[in-house]
Amino acid sequence: MNTMVTGAAAFLGRFEGLRERLPGGRTPWVAKLRAEAAESFRAQGLPGRRIEAWHYTDLGVLAQLGFTEALTLADEAPALPPARAAHRAVFVDGRFAPALSQLSAGAAPLAEALDATQGRLGALAQTLPIVALNTMLFEDGLVLDVPAGVDAGEMELLSFATHAGRAIAFHPRHLIRLGEGARLTLIDTSIGEAEATYLHNPVYEIAVAEGATLSHIRIQREGRAGFQLSTVLATVQAGGTYDNFTLNAGGRLVRNEIHVALQGPKAACHMNGAQLVAEGQHADTTTFLDHAAPDCASRQTYKTVLAGRSRGVFQGKILVRQAAQRTDGYQMNQALLLSDDAEINAKPQLEIYADDVKCSHGATVGALDEAQLFYLRARGIPADTARAMLVEAFLTEAIEGVTNPLAQEALSEAISGWWQKEAV
């Protein structure tokens, strides 16, 4: 039996054993949603490298680890980073932790609010195998609604993975909806204990209404033995804006997949990010931006720094439909290789069916500038410090577009000193 089928069988076996104990297991519409997802996953299995979208990322190792669910909450509260915002939703091993959380109005754990999500849960789900895996096995997540005209300020979403003594998997489902003219900054952080082996498979269904603005700052700092496969599915209506910045700075194997559809005139999307990939790590950012309406704008800039024997991937596709006249789209991917053993695979794509557009894309790959390094060394700066300064300068440019002070602080802390701590 090949790896893809073996991996599917293991997860499907978990589903069959848990299906009635999962949230909504005996609720007809939830049971139907899960069963349909299971059939989709059964037909597709874990994606393999023969699938074009997964050509550079091999999930074969997931089939070998025998993940199980964390059926009970951790005995002790984990040591979490200090709160940055007044409101915080904390999930430990995929389960909502009420004692560690302070929810805002309009926020609730999915396991408690499941009945109210009928017709909404799964509305944006596509026929993606990793989304199907999440749908059949999700246990909890965040449901967040910001009413029309409300500026909700900042909120934190924090996922923490513990060392359970075995390989565990959790599949949170987050539903975020902004009403007309609403605003929110969501600082979304994933961390895990260094020795923990786990799979974190979050799916986000995000709806941004007319004139609303969501700034979604994602900071991925999973444990070095952890895996993360995340999928963002977002729709943006007329005059709305979805800003996504993702920092990949942890995990053994990580894939950040983002699908955004601009569905109304003058909608906008900014998808930017940075990947810090050290020895033995694999980081994959894959984006799909669907310009489905006229007069929309999009910007994508991703920077990747690779050290040791590491591998990075960037795949970005912009689709401009025939109705999307006067589209303005830009995409750039830049990689900095700090080692002869590092590897980057870049695949930018444009697919355009409209004739009045302004679209461009590009990719660059290079090493540290020896002239700049010599300049710093000549002024008495040690070699490692000089390299760290140049790496941080390269990355700082990536986060300049993040305007929220709390989010900038969180990103700067994650990036600061990365060379000395990880790229050794």
Tens-place pLDDT, residues 292-334: 999 999 999 999 999 999 999 999 999 999 999 999 999 999 9
Please tell me the predicted confidence (pLDDT) of residue 194: 84
Q: Is residue 379 part of a domain?
A: no
Please tell me the predicted confidence (pLDDT) of residue 1: 32
Determine the angle formed by the axes of helices 383-399 and 405-415, rounding to 10 degrees. Answer: 150
- Calculate the CA 143 to chain-centre distance: 17
Cα distance between the two ends of the chain: 39
Alpha-carbon span 233 to 207, nearest angstrom: 9
CA dihedral over 207, 89, 402, 360, signed as positive or negative: negative
Please tell me the predicted confidence (pLDDT) of residue 203: 98
Two tokens, residue 254: 């990580």
C-beta atoms surrounding 119 within 10 Å: 8
Alpha-carbon span 311 to 248, nearest angstrom: 13
Please tell me the predicted confidence (pLDDT) of residue 197: 92
- Calculate the CA 177 to chain-centre distance: 17
Alpha-carbon span 217 to 194, nearest angstrom: 23
Alpha-carbon span 56 to 253, nearest angstrom: 12
Please tell me the predicted confidence (pLDDT) of residue 166: 83
Number of H helices, E strands in the chain: 9, 22
Q: List strand residue ranges (DSSP E) for 24-87, in order.
A: 68-69
Walk across the sheet containing 327-337 and list its strands. 95-96, 88-92, 151-161, 183-192, 213-221, 241-248, 268-277, 297-306, 327-337, 357-366
- Residue 149 and residue 180 in contact, taking contact as beta carbons nearer than 8 Å: yes
Q: Within 13 Å, how many C-alpha atoms sit on residue 390's CB side? A: 22
Domain around 33 = 3-369
Q: Is residue 377 part of a domain?
A: no
Residue type, 348: P
Domain count, the chain: 1
Q: Is residue 344 part of a domain?
A: yes
Q: Is residue 135 part of a domain?
A: yes
Q: Is residue 388 part of a domain?
A: no
Q: Is residue 358 part of a domain?
A: yes
Two tokens, residue 347: 């695949």
Note the residue count of the chain: 424
- Residue 310 and residue 343 in contact, taking contact as beta carbons nearer than 8 Å: yes
Alpha-carbon span 192 to 203, nearest angstrom: 18
DSSP SS3 for 25: coil
The residues with which 227 forms a beta bridge, in sequence order, are 199, 253
Q: What angle do CA 30, 33, 39 make, to 5 degrees?
A: 140
CA dihedral over 387, 388, 393, 395, signed as positive or negative: positive
Please tell me the predicted confidence (pLDDT) of residue 407: 82
Q: Within 13 Å, how many C-alpha atoms sit on residue 325's CB side? A: 3
Two tokens, residue 79: 């040591």
Sites in the chain below the pLDDT cut of 70: 1-7, 71-77, 417, 419-424
Among 121, 124, 104, residue whose Cα is nearest residue 233:
124
Alpha-carbon span 133 to 135, nearest angstrom: 6
Q: Pairing between strand 142-146 and 107-109?
A: antiparallel
- Residue 47 and residue 129 in contact, taking contact as beta carbons nearer than 8 Å: yes
Among 103, 108, 10, 25, residue whose Cα is nearest residue 61:
10
Looking at 228-268, list the stretches that DSSP marks H as alpha helix, in order from N- to C-terminal side: none
Integer angstrom CA distances of residue 195 from 142, 163, 389: 26, 6, 30
Please tell me the predicted confidence (pLDDT) of residue 74: 57
Two tokens, residue 56: 């550079």
Tens-place pLDDT, residues 84-133: 889 999 999 999 999 999 999 999 999 999 999 999 999 888 889 999 99
Alpha-carbon span 342 to 85, nearest angstrom: 37
Please tell me the predicted confidence (pLDDT) of residue 3: 37
Please tell me the predicted confidence (pLDDT) of residue 2: 38
Q: Within 13 Å, how many C-alpha atoms sit on residue 6's CB side? A: 12
Q: Is residue 340 part of a domain?
A: yes
Q: Is residue 96 part of a domain?
A: yes
